[in-house]
Amino acid sequence: MNLIGILLYAMIGMGILFIIAAILILVYLLFEDFWRRLFRLGPAPSSQTKNKQEKK
C-alpha cells in the first residue's frame, strides 16, 4: 500500500472518530437530566443556582 493510501485511511478514520465524539457530546448535552435520573445522581449545580435566583 502506498503512502497516499495510508494517509487516506488515517484521515477517514480520524474523521469518523471526530463525528462519533461530536454525537456523544450532543447526546450528553441533550439528555443530561435523563442520565442524572437514570444513575440517581444529584441535580446539576447549575440548576441549584437557578432555583436560588428564582426564589429571590
Q: What is the pLDDT of residues 10-22, one digit of tens each?
A: 999 999 999 999 9
Specify the higher pLDDT residue, 44 or 13.
13
The percent of residues in the chain predicted with pLDDT above 70, rounded, is 70
Residue 42 contacts by C-beta under 8 Å, 6 or more apart in sequence?
Answer: 36
Outline where 1-56 has alpha helix (H): 3-30, 32-38, 45-55
Task: Give pTM, 2 decimals.
Answer: 0.53
Q: What is the pLDDT of residue 33?
A: 78
**pLDDT average, residue stretch 23-44:** 78
46 within 8 A of 53, measured Cβ to Cβ: no
**pLDDT average, residue stretch 1-30:** 93
Cell numbers that stand for 23 in this block: 454525537
**Residue 48 scores a pLDDT above 70:** no
